[in-house]
Structure 1
Amino acid sequence: MNNMNAIAWLLPIIFMIHDFEEIIFIKVWRKRYEHYLDNCTMKKKPYADFRSPDEFSIGVEILFVILSIISLFSVFFNNYYVWYGFLFTVIAHFVILHCKICLDFKHYVPGIVTAILFLPITIYIMYTATILLNFTAIEILLSCAGGAVFTFIIFGILKKSEKHFESFLIKYSNGQN
């Protein structure tokens, strides 16, 4: 892998494969682990704010489009600062969210399998990109910090929009849209 244009497209691909695991398993996982979730003493229970797979899928679609646009613009303009920052946040997401929650919960949590599988791959992609892009330490730091800030903003907006997603789906199912 020595071509940044090809490497850039791995970001939305890895993200989507990872989120497929979550989309497919969250509903049945909640049913299977209902007893554990009810008796869980964790401060924030895994997927406690999850309402429906349909609603979750809309958020995933929006994130996929954003990551695809980031990859497209990175390739088109040969500028990978934003892409690099978002790759960093995907790695942080795997470690901080999925690995930590799975260890705290002490059971399977949707997303952990692909997080574990993709963690070494994404670290290798970031290592390779760092070499190919020849980023300085300051560029790496600013890119990663910027990616983290943008990710928190995007997740915040999506979180606030979830109830609108659900009401849209309900209206649509009732023939109102």
Structure 2
Amino acid sequence: MKAIVWLLPLLFILHDMEEIILAIPWKNSEAPKKRFIRVRFVPFGTFFNTESFSIAVCEELLLLTLVSAFGYFTGHYELWLGFLAANILHLILIHLIGTALVYRSYVPGAITALLTMIPCCLIFLDALHLLQYPVWKLILSVAAGTVVAAVNMKLLHRCGEVFTNYVSSFFQ
């Protein structure tokens, strides 16, 4: 387990680099306006610049690194397994189904979601084999990790405008 625990933050940042580089230019282009005209939700809608989006990604990376370090140093991988499951669910439900398939167009993050989902699933299966958690512990781990990750992401999206104003204040 100690060898694979660090793959979670690594795969996360590989995926989020695509979003950091392309999300705001894509959001500001005509592409989402054409595709999302009938829908009230536009991906990356609360982030108005790359800098504010990067702050959110940095916080998520720090959280995943701390969870991985906790598992590495204590041998308790329950929360790490939950965050890995939450990451897999995010890649599938948000990127592959929620945006790319529903809107039938490229949305930043879709390519690396597909590419990182496969190793994440393999790591999850390997961790299940190595940890041999009882079903109740597995369910609690996945539920806890998913709830914490979802609440964290919701808070970060709500703070998008705050991050934008904070970054902009440096140059006024």
Whether TM exceeds 0.5 here: the answer is yes
Q: TM-score, normalised by structure 1?
A: 0.90
Answer yes or no: is 1:71 the counterpart of 2:58.
no
Structure 1 gap segments, 5+ residues each: none
Q: Secondary structure at the match of 2:159?
A: helix
Pick aligned residue for 2:167 from 152, 166, 169: 169
Superposed CA offset, 1:48-77 (max 9, x none): 333211111000000000100110111000
How many residue pairs get aligned? The number is 170
Rate the CA distance shift 1:167–1:145 in 2: closer, same or farther, 3 A.
same
Amino acid at match of 2:79: V
Report the counterpart of residue 86 of structure 1 in structure 2. Answer: 83
Aligned 1:61-140 pairs, distance under 5 A: 61-100=58-97, 101-140=99-138
Superposed CA offset, 1:1-22 (max 9, x none): xxx1121100000000000000
Aligned 1:22-61 pairs, distance under 5 A: 22-30=19-27, 31=29, 33-37=31-35, 40-61=37-58
Q: What RMSD over aligned residues (CA atoms) do the two structures have, in Å?
A: 1.5
Q: TM-score, normalised by structure 2?
A: 0.92
Rate the CA distance shift 1:107–1:81 in 2: closer, same or farther, 3 A.
same
Answer yes or no: is 1:5 the counterpart of 2:2.
yes
Amino acid at match of 1:159: H
Rate the CA distance shift 1:157–1:51 in 2: closer, same or farther, 3 A.
same
Amino acid at match of 2:76: N
132-141 or 165-174: bigger deviation: 165-174
- CA–CA distance in 2 between the matches of 1:130 and 1:51? 39
Rate the CA distance shift 1:43–1:168 in 2: closer, same or farther, 3 A.
closer
Structure 2 gap segments, 5+ residues each: none
- CA–CA distance in 2 between the matches of 1:48 and 1:64? 21
Amino acid at match of 2:16: D
CA offset at residue 115 of structure 1? 0.7
